[in-house]
Amino acid sequence: MDQQPPGAPGPEFTVPVERGKIREFAAAMQSQHPAYQEPDAVVPPTFLVSSAFWAPDGARPDTGFDRRRLLHGEQEYVFHGPPPRAGQVLTARARLAERYEKPGKRGGTMRFAVIVTEFRDEKGELVAEQRSTLIETAKAPKPQQAKEDGQ
């Protein structure tokens, strides 16, 4: 499968920030913090991961990775001001920000892709970014190669 080069963002999609979904997310985190219960509830820090439910097909960049060897490496959220609140409608857009490789511990090459999703408010101002690092593990060595390598 071809690899998409870093750069161009995917299609925009809207993410309605719903009070009920904030409460459900907080309950799943086992949090009863009052900020998540109010009519204008603030989103928990990792709430934006639920934006995947609103993303249309093709919104996530294609890494070209073999899904059978795919690992979720890291997730990071950066807020550029107050976190979103219930009632807001955000516009999201993902892009492949970076790719790199490292040698695998059992041989072969591990490939990494960093996907950044930007979330903008109704005025178009950047309010948050979600950074996801995906890892494609190296292929297992072939039986003959493993024998020669002493494995």
Q: pTM of the prediction?
A: 0.85
CA dihedral for 53, 58, 117, 96, sign (positive or negative): positive
Q: Is residue 18 part of a domain?
A: yes
Q: Is residue 3 part of a domain?
A: no
Tens of pLDDT, residue by residue over 6-65, are 777 889 999 999 999 999 999 999 999 999 999 999 999 999 999 999 999 989 999 999
- Tally the domains of the chain: 1
Tens of pLDDT, residue by residue over 63-101, are 999 999 999 999 999 999 999 999 999 999 999 999 999
Q: Closest Cα to residue 26, out of 42, 38, 44, 39?
A: 44
Domain span at residue 127 reads 13-148
Q: Is residue 2 part of a domain?
A: no
